[in-house]
Every structure is written in structure tokens, then in C-alpha cells.
Structure 1
């Protein structure tokens, strides 16, 4: 069969897009191999009625709701390539299975590339995080470290003073801050350390120290580490859609990419802010765009 729409990615954006299209009586192939980026997260926050829900529970509820619509199929496969054809698109998995659809929504999200620092991953999602709005409340009033090699560290440090006044900024040997920015941070009681970091030290998921390569260390109870973001899939390499300055997939107000019939939703489009509520809303917006385009094509 040829689906009205294939949605690649079963995160909040893809799931909400499937919900809206299912309710519009569209046939949908929801392609997702159950490897969410937020699997290490203990709880998701900032989504009204779902504050504190675990990612696994969020997905369970979402799939239960989405698959209650008979025109939505969940295909537990990994999409590896997409071809444009006259009738729409062909989506192939790693075993050569082909799914045909008139429209495709890329809701594949992004990958986080964190600084290569020993001890990070045992603490990530427990006392080290990357989003202040997601996890700042849980670390409120604690002595925190902000680790970033990017110019956005100035903004992150300013923002985090809403949750804790005991902040130290570490740039891991890089110099992303101007002299004026360092002066402003220091005037606000935020120490800046530009030495390379050797390791995060902690037990049972709790950060205790940040150790530098010169042997010195600072005591901290938690912190935020800024990653770089890249697209999680290589689909753009052969499709050739336009990208934003930050590397996201460029779309219009209805999620349309520069390739007719191809849409993008969620983190894959705007990179940041990376929150469940933003992604879900974007999935709804994009699904409405898809449904409107299908309606226009079929209306005689």
C-alpha cells in the first residue's frame, strides 16, 4: 500500500504528528525502532499534565493513544534511506524493506556530541545535564559547574543564576568568552576557569569534584554540560534539502522543507530548545500542514 504519510521518528514530534494525522483519517506509517535520545533521562519536565513523567511512560501512553486510531501503523524498523519517486517517497530499512508514502515527515531529532571528558556518562542524567529548563529545579541552590566550549556558555551561565548563585564556568581549555563577558560573569560572582578538564569525579551518579589536567580540582554537586548537536540521520546527503545556519532542516511555517512532499518536525528542524513540549507542538503543526497539502491535492 501507499501511505498518506510516513513519519520517521517516534519521539514527541513524530508521535504527536501521528496522532493528528490519525484523527484526520490519514493512513500513517510511524517508523521508529525504539531508541529515544532521552533514554538516560529519569524524568521529563515542563509539559503540563506530564511534569515528571519518565520517557518510557510518556512513550507508553503516547503509543497507546496513537495506535487507537486504526489508520496508524507502527513499523518497528530503522529507516536508513529515502528516495523521491513520482508518487511520493520510498523509505528503506536496513534489511531492504520498502515503505511507500505520498508525504514524509522527518522527526528524527538530533544527536548530542558532548566534550570528551572522563567520568561524564556515569553522571549524565543524574547530576549532570544539558538543559536548565528541564533539570534546573532539581539542582536548585546547589554548587554547580557549567562546562561548555561554545560561545553560548555566557547565556547559559546567566540563565542558571535563576536556580543557583553558586556557579563556576569551565571552558575545558577553550576560550569562547570575550574579556568583557568574563568580567561581567565575575562581577556577578561567577568564577571562570579556562583550564582543560581531566575528569568528573563522583559516586552513584552524584558529582563530587571536577578535576583539571594540572591536578587541581573543585568541589561541585551537579552541573550542566553543553553539547554540540548534529542531525541524527544522513537523509539530507542524498535528498539535498536546505539547512539552517545552526544545521537544522530549514522549513516554512507548516514544516515543509525545500523538497516538495518532505516535511521536518521537532529538534531536527530547530535544534534548540530541546524540550518535549516544543517538539510535540511542532509535530502537531507539521501534521496539519501535511493534511492540508493532501487535501489540496485531492480536492477536485
Structure 2
């Protein structure tokens, strides 16, 4: 029986695997190869790895993990997890293979849903992004747009203004920003446009114009999008762990969920900004939680 099965091959899952491998735990890492950041060309904010592509990061991480013989990597998707005894979980993959593990770390990340704007998928990951801490530097001092259908639009606009003072917030036909907040943004030369967006225009993924349904055109060279995030799986229904009002998995400071033996790490907990370095650190904490609990159980 495995000590731990890690579901998800992103930075959280990879770092959890590294910590557990170094702790001499017998583990398996499942990576279905469909990461949320597949559209991203470069990842930023991770010291010594600033500007690394997601594919290069994954390759380097796998090279690190190969040093530890107790780690196995399977390029397949886990479709179900069920508790089969007091001390083990049974996992089944899309190929029908089954695995048993004492502990499970969910590091599956999140699924992004973009606003319904024609052309947005062509631009996303090239000139439109979701995290200013990850991509704000590359867009510094450019005329930017924030496409937001979310109540946190004002907060995001304030954050983006650190990188560019030429910012327009487009709410795509929704009156979601209160008048007092619009007035406050206007004082800082941030314009709010509530007209519905007809389409985004540009070439090879680089934004040139936001075209509104009223015919007006906003010349912009890039920007940010507030995405709706959701869990990419239905493990909550079978395992029964608690989630918060945003759909994030509730965890303690070492990644433990409300269900003994089940841990979570990375973006699936929606604990903060979706940064590479934060997800990796989160994975390390969950691995420490797993190893600590396994050790204490062996002495009990």
C-alpha cells in the first residue's frame, strides 16, 4: 500500500512529491498533463525560475523527482477516490487502474471560466492575463483594460494601477461597481465602461482594440481578466470534505481537510493569488502534514 497518492502535477503536487520523496515515503503522483496554465508562455515571481515556461518547469521538476526511488509518476487522470477501510483510500484512473493509499493530497488546481467576450480566448495568455503579480511587469506603462464581471473589480483595478496608470475597466454590460467606487476610480484617472463588449480585436493574440456594442472602440494593448474559478473534479461529493463559499477546499495550516487522511494544496484551496511560488509552498506544507501524521500514527 502507498503512503500517499498525490492528485495533480502542478507546482503544489510536484513540491509535495519532492518533500515526501525526501522523507522516504512511498508515493505516486498523478499528472494528467492538462494544466490550467497551459496557455501561459512564461511564469514569473518564483526566485531562480523567473520567466520559466510551464513545460520547462515541469520537466525540471520531474528531473528532481527522479532522484528519489520511492516516487512514481503516472501520466493519467484519477476519476474516483473512495475510502475502502479505516486506513486507506482507493483511487481509480480513467484507464481502470486502481491504487490504494493511506493518505491523499488533492493538488488538482482550478478550472478557469472566462467572460463571454468574442475573441477573449485568442488573447488569453498572450496579452490578457489573470494575475498582475505574475504578468504586470511585462505590461507596465501600457494602455490596459480590465475585463471584469465580478464584485471585486474595484480592488483588482487598484492593484493593476501599480503597473499602469492608463487603465479602463470594462464590466461587459453589467452595473456592478457602485457609484462611489466609480467616482473614487475616476479620481485616479481609471475609467469605468459599462457598455457590453462586442469583441476584442487584434492579431496573433496581441490585443489592439476593445470594440463595444455601441460602436465605440477602446485602443488597448493588453490587460487583465477576472475569471470565475471552479473545482475541476467532483471528489467533494464522494469524500465529503468541507468547502468554503467560493468552492475552495477548507484546510488547516498543514493542508488537512475536514476528512482524516485527505489533504489539499495549491489553487484548489483558493487560499490566495494563483502564483507558482505560493502553490509550491502550499504543496510543501501539505506534504509535511502527511509525513507528520503518518509518523505519529506509527507511534500510536
Normalising TM by the smaller chain, what interval? over 0.9
> Which residue in the other structure is 2:16 paired with?
17
Query: Which residue is 1:289 aligned to?
Result: 289
Partner SS state of residue 202, structure 2: strand
Secondary structure, in 3 states, of the residue corresponding to 1:17? helix
Corresponding residue for residue 80 of structure 1: 79
Q: Which residue of 1 aligns with 2:170?
A: 170
CA distance in 2, matches of 1:44, 1:264: 22
Aligned to 1:111: 111
Q: Report the TM-score when normalising by structure 1.
A: 0.98
Give the 3-state SS of the residue equivalent to 2:112 in structure 1: strand
TM-score by length of 2: 0.98
Which consecutive unaligned segments of at least 5 residues does structure 2 have? none
Partner-residue secondary structure (3-state), 1:14: helix
Map Cα deviations across residues 128-159 of structure 1 (whole Å, 9 max, x no partner): 11110000000000000011010111011111
| Structure 1 partner of 2:133 | 133
Distance 1:88 1:262 in 2: 10
The corresponding residue for 1:151 is: 151
For the pair 1:208 / 2:226, whether they are aligned, the reply is no
Q: Which residue of 2 aligns with 1:253?
A: 253
1:92 aligns with 2:67: no
Q: CA deviation at 1:253?
A: 1.1
Q: How many residues align?
A: 299
- 1:95: Cα distance to partner? 2.5
Structure 1 segments of 4+ aligned residues over 6 angstroms from their partners: none
Structure 2 distance, partners of 1:200, 1:39, is 21
**Structure-2 residue corresponding to 1:4:** 3
CA distance, structure 2, for counterparts of residue 81 and residue 60 of structure 1: 27
- Separation in 2, partners of 1:47, 1:154: 27
Q: Name the stretch that deviates more: 102-111 or 230-239.
A: 230-239
Cα deviation for residue 271 of structure 1 reads 5.1
For residues 269 and 128 of structure 1, the distance between their equivalents in structure 2, rounded to whole angstroms, comes to 24
